[in-house]
Amino acid sequence: MSDIRIRDVIEADLPILCEQQLDPDATRMAAFPSREPEAFMAHWRVKVLGDARNRKQTILFDGQVAGHIVSFVQGERRLIGYWLGKEYWGRGIATRALSEFLLQETHRPLFAQVAKHNVASIRVLEKCGFTHVGAEPPATGAEVEELTMLLTGKPQDDSTR
């Protein structure tokens, strides 16, 4: 079995995370626009790494940076988000990494927004205990409907996920 771990994001991870979010297939799947490298680095340094309320973890697969998971406050809600490099899709990495992340991120309730067409990500969230609580119509000018998913209850170590 391959080694999947999470650890704090470090500055050296950012160029890899930036490249991963530039992949056009990934941006279509996530329905989330990529940022040009300069904007990506500024966003991560100031908004993500610079906000102590955020939990930010790098996903490692056999020692390689495979993606990231974050939790952050938006309005009155704490949300999670994750991104996996395309070459790591379909291997169960996201589910295992998110399960581990949710043991550390003990805030509940925890929300996730996911594009309705992103069946793989919906399945990852469901395996990790999230349930559907609603759908958001596309924002003005947007074409993608988003699902709102919710995690309640206590963190638990469930190796059967």
Tell me if residue 5 falls in helix, strand or coil. Answer: strand
Question: What tens digit of pLDDT does each residue of 9-51 get?
Answer: 999 999 999 999 999 999 998 888 899 999 999 999 999 999 9
Q: Which domains does the chain have, with CATH numbers?
A: 4-151 (3.40.630.30)
Burial degree of 19 (CB within 10 A; 0-12, 13-18, 19+): middle
Give 159's DSSP letter.
Answer: T
Give whole-number Cα distances, 17 to 1, 96, 161, in Å: 24, 19, 26
CB 48 within 8 A of CB 40: no
What would the two tokens of residue 31 be?
């329905």
Q: How far apart are CA 40 and CA 62, in angstroms?
A: 25
Res. 160 pLDDT band, cuts 50 70 90: very low
Question: What tens digit of pLDDT does each residue of 55-110 get?
Answer: 999 999 999 999 999 999 999 999 999 999 999 999 999 999 999 999 999 999 99
The reported pTM is 0.89
Kind and range of the H or E run holding 57: strand 55-61
Dihedral over Cα of 37, 39, 42, 44: its sign: negative
Kind and range of the H or E run holding 29: helix 24-30
Q: How far apart are CA 115 and CA 149, in angstroms?
A: 11
Res. 138 pLDDT band, cuts 50 70 90: low
Half-sphere exposure of 104 (CA within 13 A, CB side): 17
